[in-house]
Structure 1
Amino acid sequence: MFLSLVIAIWAALDETATIAALILATLAMPFIAKSLTSRISISDSELRIDKAHIERKYLGKVTVLDSEAMRLLRTRDADPAAYLAIKFWAVKGVKVEITDPRDPTPYWLITSKRGEDLAASLINN
């Protein structure tokens, strides 16, 4: 994507614009990469994903999902009330059921490259 943008600018404009676009795109890459990642943190009292958080006492069953199960939960079997902390390019993840009777959210669906580690951290603490 990065290179194709620079080539498109080079084809449409002159070399100065291409060099400027290349420099700006290079400087913007760390910020773009940071905005595309989710920060998952687990403490003794809560699970936090970016700005969303829930107390651990309300976490129910934790299920590690392979690519097929994740695909189904994202599409056909999705619950519209679920909280989705997903990235479209990640194929595996974890489903965490929510047991808070006041919360209409049935589960959190979280994509993670290390779903087994995430599930183990949620279960063990």
Structure 2
Amino acid sequence: MTSYRERLSPPLQVFVALLLVVPASVLVFLPINVPVGWGVGIALFVGFGLALWFGSPVLTVAEEGFRAGRAILYPGEIGAAAAFSGEEATAERGVRLDARAWTLFRGWVKPVIKIGLTDPNDPAPYWLVSTRHPERLSLAIDAIRPRTPGR
């Protein structure tokens, strides 16, 4: 059972800007064949749009662990999770970022979640992942962490 799922897809503005490939294709094919230009432009728009949508990583939290794209953290490897937004998120992605950290950023998603790791053999000290709902994701991750005495 999945307790959290989020696709880090681009915002509508990116797809609106992508529409510019249609008139650009028409202009390129203008001396050759205008209908072909329209067809190529529409095909490029649909193709790039689908690539952007399906190429966007998905974040999921389930009993098996936390998935960020193709990477997975199993419950026993998950430490404390902290949510950041605004200037704090910018600092976490910038001046406070440890070069050894595992990251999954998307420029159009500003908030981040920082997940500590409990595996002493892991070279990454933590994961830093973009998310639109850092508080909800943090709660979902905390719910699958193994309970230790005193928690």
TM-score (norm. length: structure 1): 0.87
Query: Post-superposition, which runs of at least 4 consecutive aligned residues in structure 1 deviate over 4 A?
Result: none
Quick check: 22-31 or 111-120, which moved more? 22-31
Unaligned runs of 5+ in 2: 1-16, 145-151
Q: Which has the higher contact order (CA 8 A, sep 6+)?
A: 2
Q: C-alpha displacement at 1:58, in angstroms?
A: 1.7
1:70 corresponds in structure 2 to 89
Bigger drift between 94-103 and 12-21 goes to 12-21
Match of 1:16 in 2: 35
TM-score for the superposition, normalised by structure 2: 0.74
8 Å contact from structure 1 (residues 45, 57) kept in 2: no
Q: 1:113 aligns with which of 121, 132, 139?
A: 132
Partner of 2:143: 124
SS in 2 for 1:27: helix
Cα deviations by residue, 1:44-93 (Å, 9 ceiling, x for unpaired): 24211121112211211111101211111212221111111111111112
Aligned length: 124
C-alpha root-mean-square deviation of aligned residues, in Å? 1.6
**Is the aligned partner of 1:60 residue 2:76?**
no
- Percentage of pairs with the same residue: 19
Residues 1:4 and 2:24 are matched in the alignment: no
**How far apart in 2 are the matches of 1:74 and 1:110?**
9
2:14 alignment partner in structure 1: none
Match of 2:51 in 1: 31
- 1:107 deviates by 0.8
